[in-house]
């Protein structure tokens, strides 16, 4: 994640760069993988002790809408957020260690989307793809 790019985009869109918002952005920029909102809160509170969980959720939602993080769903019904480096990317998630790897999206999914639209009558406007399995380290252990 390019923090300066995010700051510039937020200012351009009319969002204030509050201390709390900066702390969440910096915490996500340091993330090596997926983080639950509670984990983001703990990391961001190192630089902004007064930060609350509601602000974390709001900032993560904003960063998601702008494409800088992606929401990742886990088997247990919980979710987290992973930094997003790709304009159109998807995730593969390890069921065991929760490692998240982003991979490029592909328009090859277009045929499937067209089939689903034909079967359901929906007009698909967006999609996300998450694959789950075991990473090499967990598979070998």
Domain ranges of the chain: 3-140
Contacts 24+ apart (CB under 8 A), 31-35: 31/82, 31/83, 33/82, 33/98, 33/99, 33/100, 34/72, 34/80, 34/81, 34/82, 34/93, 34/98, 34/99, 34/100, 35/80, 35/81, 35/82
- What predicted TM-score, i.e. pTM, was given to this entire model? 0.71
pLDDT tens across 34-88, in order?
889 999 999 999 999 999 999 999 999 999 988 888 888 776 667 888 887 645 6
The pLDDT value recorded for residue 119 is 94
In the predicted model, what is the mean pLDDT of residues 22-42? 91
Supply 59's token pair.
Answer: 């900032």
| Comparison of pLDDT for 104 and 6, the residue scoring more | 6
> What pairs with residue 111 in β-bridges?
none
The pLDDT value recorded for residue 129 is 76
Residue partners of 50: CB distance under 8 A and separation at least 6 = 20
The rounded mean pLDDT for the chain is 87
User: Which among 40-44, 78-82, 126-130, 134-138 has the top mean pLDDT?
Assistant: 40-44
Query: What fold, for 3-140?
Result: Arc Repressor Mutant, subunit A (1.10.10)
The pLDDT value recorded for residue 111 is 84
Residue partners of 134: CB distance under 8 A and separation at least 6 = 94, 95, 96
In the predicted model, what is the mean pLDDT of residues 121-138? 86
């Amino acid at each position: 994640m390019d923090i300066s790019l995010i700051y510039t985009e937020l200012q351009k869109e009319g969002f204030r760069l509050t201390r709390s918002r900066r702390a969440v952005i910096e915490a996500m920029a340091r993330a090596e993988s997926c983080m639950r909102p509670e984990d983001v809160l703990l990391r961001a509170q190192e630089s902004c002790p007064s930060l609350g969980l509601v602000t974390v959720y709001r900032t993560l939602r904003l960063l998601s809408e702008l494409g800088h993080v992606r929401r990742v769903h886990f088997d247990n019904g919980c979710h987290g957020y992973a930094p997003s480096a790709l304009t159109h990317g998807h995730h593969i998630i390890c069921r065991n260690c929760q490692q998240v790897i982003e991979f490029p999206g592909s328009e090859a999914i277009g045929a499937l989307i067209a089939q689903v639209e034909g079967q359901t009558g929906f007009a698909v406007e967006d999609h996300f793809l998450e694959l789950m399995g075991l990473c090499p380290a967990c598979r070998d252990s």
